[in-house]
Structure 1
Amino acid sequence: MATTKHDHHAHQPGDHDQAEILDLDAEVLAEHIASVIAWLPVESGPRQVVDLGCGTGAGTFALLDRFPEARVTAVDSSAEHLRRLREKADEAGVADRVHAVQVDLDAAWPDLGEPDLVWASASLHHLADPGRALRQVHDALAPGGLLAVVELAGFPRFLPADAPEDRPGVEERCHAEIDRRAAEHMPHRGADWGPKLTAAGFTVEGERTLTVHIEHSRSEAVGRYALNGLRRVRGSVADALSAEDRAALDRLLDTDGPHSILRRDDLAVRTERTVWAARRP
């Protein structure tokens, strides 16, 4: 998951808060990220890989694992996220295989060399002109190189539909408001990237939608992911919620209270990711 200048919501979470969500996303959904990468029609092990909008490195480290000969250029607009990514690369002993580049892709375009594979996960829809970005990627890729575009169908859901008991459906009402705002401020969110890729000169070789449903998990990571996710959701749409919905969310987010989301044993992670694999002819 990526960061760029534009974010999903009018409320901008701090980079540190968002970094924690991205780290949890990587931890909880590691298997799904690995399965997407394994599905890609990569003809031989790529040596030069770019993670475009890398966040704190969920894709970067999955790509390094999958392609042991590769070096990854990790591109993001957030200094905090890149600092965290470098720390993790040091801890994992792969710092010599990672090159971090801080840039706002709406303002400038970095020299990416001639990569064999570009990975863009949850990043292109943030851009003001993703068509321009796709053309830039097309021109940078080595002939025959591959672009993988991964987009999420919104932020994950965590609660059952009838929860919480005192205010059922509050999570869905929050997401409805987030979707309404995103439609205004982020028109490329939820787009069909196939035609955009073709227009930029790519040949689309595959498209796959992956349903993520991690059910009834008591794992600490899922609890923290739900807690941080709902905090972000509340911060995004609090001004549009009823007082009753705000109060219900606050009870869920009170980690010391009896209704804390961390005390629930019915949490899930439900979302969808769609992947497009597109080749430069």
Structure 2
Amino acid sequence: MAPHSHQHQHDHQHHQHHASGEDEPFVAELLDLEAEVLHAHLSELTAWLAELTADRAVRRVLDLGSGTGTGTFALLRRFEDAEATAVDASPRLLRHLQDRARELGVADRVRTVEADLDAAWPDFGRADLVWASGALHHLSDPDRALREAHVALAPGGLLAVIEMAGVPYFLPHDLGIGRPGLEARCRAALAGGHAEALPHLGADWGPLLSRAGFTVEAERPYTVELVPPLPAAAGRYAREVLRRMRNALDGRGDADDLATLDALLDSDGPHSVLHRDDLTVRTDRTVWAARRPA
């Protein structure tokens, strides 16, 4: 079943997490909240991958840019006989992942490897399924990384590339404070910086996958849209994303808009995103499923 939008219930999942040591705890919290809020989407996505790999057993999974293990654990739940290698440049996030693996009772099925995917790759062994969610657009040379992924994948194995168009949307057009259209203006103000710092964000990965030797079997754009009533974690997720947006806009954004963001981020204030009943979670993503020819 292909992913589709959910009517109930990607600062996005920046793997190879280019964060300072002080920032990493906040990155970990953000990724864990995203996993909690989008768990139904993840389950549906892994079910689709299970359909695409039904003709061969998935025993070894490689998660590139694993962060706190969102993809790792979703795949281990789906492929009950599989073991996973989780790769990230951050030792702190990998320790967090290991702690979570112990809590979930799957520590014996998870191996972590600290590695910079922009440097020479260690030998991860051959994988039946490689997962790269929100990781590739951070790399300085994604063509080389995809060639490395081709080598790491067993013949006939599948690579899943998941990328977001940008950070999720949460807020109604008219918040009741400030000027309407806050999120759209904030994204416009940040767009130039994203284009410069992350030139591969929003790329069409199909041609790059083909150049690396893969056969692209499917490209599926889809929207995840969660509408009220939402779980409490959605408010915390919105707060973390908007907090990072506010920090990025410091000294660059409109003063009135920054003040509105501050009001939304004030946990005890009357406009706090933690207490609003009009939040949504909307994120546009694309998944590419690519096969290494047998």
TM-score (norm 2): 0.91
Matched with 1:183 is: 195
How far residue 257 of structure 1 moved from its aligned partner, in angstroms, is 1.2
Matched with 2:116 is: 104
Matched with 2:104 is: 92
- Report SS of the residue matched to 1:212: strand
Question: 2:147 is aligned with what amino acid?
Answer: R
CA gap of 1:217–1:180, structure 2 versus 1, over 3 A, is farther
Does the 8 A contact of 2:87 with 2:113 survive in 1? yes
How far residue 75 of structure 1 moved from its aligned partner, in angstroms, is 0.3
Aligned residues: 278
Aligned counterpart for 1:166 among listed residues 178, 181, 184: 178
Question: 1:24 is aligned with what amino acid?
Answer: L
CA gap of 1:220–1:184, structure 2 versus 1, over 3 A, is same
Residue by residue, what CA displacement relative to the aligned partner does 1:204-227 show, whole Å, maximum 9, x if unpaired?
Answer: 011111211001234110010011
Residue 16 (1) aligns with residue 30 (2): no
Matched with 2:36 is: 27
Residue by residue, what CA displacement relative to the aligned partner does 1:57-100 show, whole Å, maximum 9, x if unpaired?
Answer: 11000000000010000001111211111011001110000001
Matched with 1:125 is: 137
Task: Determine what percentage of the aligned residue pairs are the same residue.
Answer: 57
Residue 209 (1) aligns with residue 221 (2): yes
CA gap of 1:220–1:120, structure 2 versus 1, over 3 A, is same
CA distance in 1, matches of 2:82, 2:179: 50
Matched with 1:223 is: 235
TM-score (norm 1): 0.95
CA distance in 2, matches of 1:35, 1:165: 37
CA distance in 2, matches of 1:65, 1:96: 14
Does the 8 A contact of 1:2 with 1:54 survive in 2? no
CA distance in 1, matches of 2:227, 2:149: 37
Matched with 1:83 is: 95
- Report SS of the residue matched to 1:162: coil
Matched with 1:194 is: 206
Unaligned runs of 5+ in 2: 1-12
Matched with 1:49 is: 61
How far residue 12 of structure 1 moved from its aligned partner, in angstroms, is 9.2
- Report SS of the residue matched to 1:250: helix
CA distance in 1, matches of 2:274, 2:91: 30
